[in-house]
């Protein structure tokens, strides 16, 4: 999940989609690549109280398996702490720095069916590590005015990664978040993005609902609570992706 714009629901998507995929019986690992540790916190772990995190994995001090935690949502979590802010500077001085995460995760590929990486809101070395480790990239996009400024820059970065560090990287498409089906505005923004950037738009869009704020404070995702339209949308998205991974066409949104 990558978008250098803040607050577009990258973290919410990694947590909720991860929980939904786990609900389909997949073994899911989620990776917190943001020094803020929001993913870690939203899955019930306090970043301030952790002894081991993705930072120690990226610096090569421990293997990834030794930092992974369980969560009540049924996904495994490679957590982040504020230490990760320092990893950025440290990685910059290393040869092959973009490959650090890919190398760290490689020994785990037999243990998980899906690994979801929550990138920070920047196009720095951490996001480059996420894009280099990934098979595909999904771009959460908030359906509001001008929210898509910066998409061009992100897509240029994705193309550079495809040319330089990860030729197999697939740009899956945009995922509309904070979507308000009652306004034509959300739909206009989406069709504009799809046309302008020739970017597939995944189905279904994730509706705006207050349940997400409640959930992230509770230490579990919206899927843990009673049924609501946010949870339903992420379950639908999980099914769409699971079918795509087993050979079907990706279902896209047509408004
Ligand atoms: N579908 C939704 N409806 C309502 N609120 C939402 C929805 N999705 C996410 N939010 C809220 O929007 C805020 C930003 O979401 P989130 O932290 O997932 O974005 P982000 O892209 O990871 O942000 P950052 O760039 O800072 O890492 C959070 O308060 C979250 O609870
Ligand atoms: Mg985030």
For 20-23, the CB contacts below 8 A with 24+ separation are 20/223, 20/231, 20/234, 20/235, 20/237, 20/238, 21/75, 21/113, 21/114, 21/116, 21/238, 21/241, 21/242, 22/73, 22/74, 22/75, 23/74, 23/223, 23/235, 23/238
Structural domains of the chain sorted by starting position, each given as residue range(s) with its CATH number in brackets: 10-245 (3.40.50.300)
Over the stretch 112-158, which tens digit does the pLDDT of each residue have? 999 999 999 999 999 999 999 999 999 999 887 666 778 899 999 99
Q: How far is the CA of 180 from the centre of ligand 2 (A)?
A: 21
Cα(20) to centroid(ligand 2), Å: 18
Question: Could you tell me the pTM of the whole model?
Answer: 0.96
Ligand 1 pocket, 216 CB below 6 A?
yes
pLDDT tens digit sequence for 228-255: 899 999 999 999 999 999 999 999 987 6
Atom of ligand 1 lying closest to residue 140 CA: 21
Average pLDDT over residues 12-39: 97
Q: Is 39 in the pocket of ligand 1 (CB under 6 A)?
A: no
Q: Report whether residue 231 contacts ligand 1, using a CB cutoff of 6 Å.
A: no
């Amino acid at each position: 999940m990558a978008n250098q714009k803040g607050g577009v629901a990258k973290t919410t998507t990694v947590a909720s989609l991860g929980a939904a995929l786990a609900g389909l019986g997949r073994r899911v690992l989620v990776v917190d690549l943001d020094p803020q540790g929001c993913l870690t916190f939203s899955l019930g772990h306090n970043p301030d109280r952790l002894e081991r995190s993705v930072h120690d994995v990226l610096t090569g001090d421990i293997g990834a398996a030794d930092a992974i935690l369980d969560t009540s949502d049924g996904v495994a979590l490679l957590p982040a702490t504020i230490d990760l802010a320092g990893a950025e500077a440290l990685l910059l001085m290393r040869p092959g720095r973009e490959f650090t995460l890919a190398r760290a995760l490689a020994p785990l590929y037999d243990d998980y069916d899906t690994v979801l990486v929550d990138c920070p809101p920047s196009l720095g070395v951490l996001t480059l590590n996420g894009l280099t480790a990934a098979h595909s990239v999904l771009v959460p996009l908030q359906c509001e005015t001008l929210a898509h400024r910066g998409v061009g820059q992100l897509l240029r970065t994705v193309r550079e990664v495809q040319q330089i560090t990860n030729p197999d990287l697939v740009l899956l498409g945009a995922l509309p978040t904070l979507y308000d089906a009652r306004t034509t505005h959300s739909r206009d923004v989406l069709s504009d993005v799809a046309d302008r950037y020739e970017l597939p738009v995944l189905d279904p869009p994730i509706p705006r609902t207050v349940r997400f704020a409640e959930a992230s404070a509770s230490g579990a995702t919206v899927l843990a609570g009673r049924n609501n339209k946010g949870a339903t949308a992420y379950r639908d998205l999980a099914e769409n992706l699971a079918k795509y991974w087993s050979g079907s066409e990706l279902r896209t949104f047509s408004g």
